[in-house]
Amino acid sequence: MLEVGDSVPTFDLEAGTGERVGTARLRGSRWVIYFYPKDNTSGCTIETREFGQALPEFSARGVRVFGCSVGDAAAKKAFAESCDAAALPLLADPDHQVAEAFGVWGQRTFAGNTYMGIARTTFVVDPEGRIEHVFADVKPTGHAAEVMAVLPS
């Protein structure tokens, strides 16, 4: 997993909002990327809804926020809309290459089943493209506020 001070890997992904989001376009701004395991699951819905509700406050601080998970852009759009977070860009990482590059893809266990998937993790990235803060083993409820608390006001 990437750590504080590491440079973020280069990526360019399609968001459910229809825009392309990549490191080249984000250079010069602070941003947050939260990796979540799966669309339409209870924890991911809570997390995405909370980030969507907090989007105006993040924007007021000049911080962009992106969710990222496996799947296609159409699924990301539908999921964001179902969370009342249509303006929140959810990035489609269909081959989990970006999740792997950030170090959040791997063997997971849930309800006694082992599978390959995303570990719920959030990264705050500084304007130079370096990791400024890492939240690992995230609990969805209250997480958007937790991230907001580490950002400059």
- Whether 4 is covered by a domain: the verdict is no
Q: Which region, left, alpha or beta, applies to residue 40 given φ > 0 means left and ψ of -120 to 50 means alpha? A: left
pLDDT of residue 94: 97
Torsion angle defined by CA atoms of residues 53, 55, 56 and 57, in that order, rounded to the nearest 10 degrees: 100
Question: Mind listing the pLDDT tens digit for each residue in 24-61?
Answer: 999 999 999 999 999 999 999 999 999 999 999 999 99
- Whether the pLDDT of residue 5 is over 90: the answer is yes
- Whether 138 is covered by a domain: the verdict is yes
Strands of the chain (E only): list them.
Answer: 12-14, 20-22, 30-35, 63-69, 90-92, 105-110, 113-118, 121-125, 131-135
Nearest of 115, 119, 95 to residue 34 by alpha carbon: 119
Find the domain containing 40 and state its range: 12-150
pLDDT of residue 111: 85
**Active site (annotated) includes residue 44:** yes
Nearest of 92, 90, 119, 77 to residue 13 by alpha carbon: 92
Question: pLDDT band for position 21 (50/70/90)?
Answer: very high
How far, in Å, CA of 114 to CA of 134, rounded?
Answer: 25
Question: Mind listing the pLDDT tens digit for each residue in 84-132?
Answer: 999 999 999 999 999 999 999 999 988 899 999 999 999 999 999 999 9
- Whether 7 is covered by a domain: the verdict is no
Number of domains comprising the chain: 1
pLDDT of residue 34: 99
- Whether 6 is covered by a domain: the verdict is no
How far, in Å, CA of 36 to CA of 118, rounded?
Answer: 6
pLDDT of residue 52: 98
Neighbours of 77 (CB within 10 A): 19
Catalytic residue among 2, 15, 32, 44: 44
- Whether 1 is covered by a domain: the verdict is no
CATH number of domain containing 142: 3.40.30.10
- Whether 48 is covered by a domain: the verdict is yes
- Whether 110 is covered by a domain: the verdict is yes
